[in-house]
Amino acid sequence: MMLPGRAAKILLIDSNVLFAKRLGDALKREGFEITATTQASFALTALEYDAPAAIVCATNMREMGALELAKIVRADTKNSSLPIIAIGDGSQRALMEAFQAGCDDYIDRHLPPAVIAGHVKNILISKIDGFQPTQMLGQADTSLSGNLTHHDLTGVMQMLAQARQTGALTINAGETDAVLFFDAGEIVHAECGSLFGDEAVLYVLKNCVKVGAGVYKFVYGLASAQRTVLRSATDLMLDAMREYDEQVRDSDDPLPHNEPANEVLATTELADRSTSNEEVP
C-alpha cells in the first residue's frame, strides 16, 4: 500500500538469502522499505494486515513461487491490482509463463542487483505516474523483445492485455512495420504505413499470421496522445483470423471461370476414349 510521506514497502521473496540481501540493499538505495522472506506463503498472510506496494518474488521456489503466487493474488479482487514482479532465469519461455500467470513483469536474476532494483522502481513508477518517453528509451532493460519465429503475435498481444500493460509494441515482419500503443492492456492507437486505428490492427494481424520471421519489441510506459482504435483487441483479433482463414480458403478453391473449361476438357477426353474404343467397320 502506498502511503504519502512514507517509503513504499516491497515484499521480497527468495530462497537464496545472499541474493535477497544484495537485492534488498539495492532496493533500499532506491528508496524502498524492504521486508524479506524465504517463503512465498508469507505474502498471503502479509496481504491481510500490512499489504506491500509490490511483491518481488523468485520463480524457482521449492513450494510456491511467483507464478503460483500471482494466480492466487489475482483471484482476490481486493489485491488484483497489486504489482507482482517475477525474478527468474531470463529465458523467453519463462517470461511468457510469468505474464500468462498474471505477473506484471519478469526480470532476469543474473542482472546486477542495482539494475534489477532500478527496473523494479521503473515498473512501479509506470503503474502509478507513467514513464516519460526519454526515460524509457534510455533504458534497454525496460523493454520486452522477441522473435516471431518462436512466438505468434496474437499470443504476445493477449499476454500484454492479460497483464494490463501500458506501452508501445513495435512489429517488424517483412513489409509490415507497425506500432501498437497499449493502455492498461487495451490497444488505443495503431499505425502501419498509411493505415491507422482498427484498420492498422487488422492489417498487422492478418499479415503476421504464420509469418515465420520478424521481430517485436514492447517498451513499457510509452503512451500515445491520440486514440484511433475503437474496438476491443479481442474483436479485432477474431475478425483478423476470420478474414485470414477466408483468404486461405479462397486461394485453395479453384477459380469459377476455370470450372467450365475443366468440364469441357473432361468431356473431350471421354469422347476421345469412346472414339478410340469403337470398332472400325
Residue 132 above 70 pLDDT?
Answer: no
The answer to whether residues 135 and 167 belong to one domain is: yes
In tens, the pLDDT along 221-238 reads 888 878 899 998 888 888
**HSE on the CB side for 25, CA within 13 Å?**
7
Residue 100 above 70 pLDDT?
Answer: yes
197: left (phi over 0), alpha (psi -120 to 50) or beta: left
Instruction: Place 12 in a pLDDT band, splitting at 50, 70 and 90.
Output: very high
Looking at 93, 114, 129, the residue that finishes a domain is 129
The CATH number of the domain holding residue 31 is: 3.40.50.2300
Could you tell me if 130 and 141 are in contact, meaning their C-beta atoms sit under 8 angstroms apart?
no
Indicate whether 280 belongs to any domain.
no
Q: How many CB atoms lie within 10 A of CB 97?
A: 18
Residue 276 above 70 pLDDT?
Answer: no
d(CA 62, CA 40): 10
The answer to whether residues 37 and 58 belong to one domain is: yes
The answer to whether residues 135 and 270 belong to one domain is: yes
Residue 193 above 70 pLDDT?
Answer: yes
Q: In this predicted structure, what is the pLDDT of residue 206? A: 85
Q: In this predicted structure, what is the pLDDT of residue 89? A: 85
Indicate whether 241 belongs to any domain.
yes
Structural domain including 255 reads 131-274
Q: In this predicted structure, what is the pLDDT of residue 25? A: 96
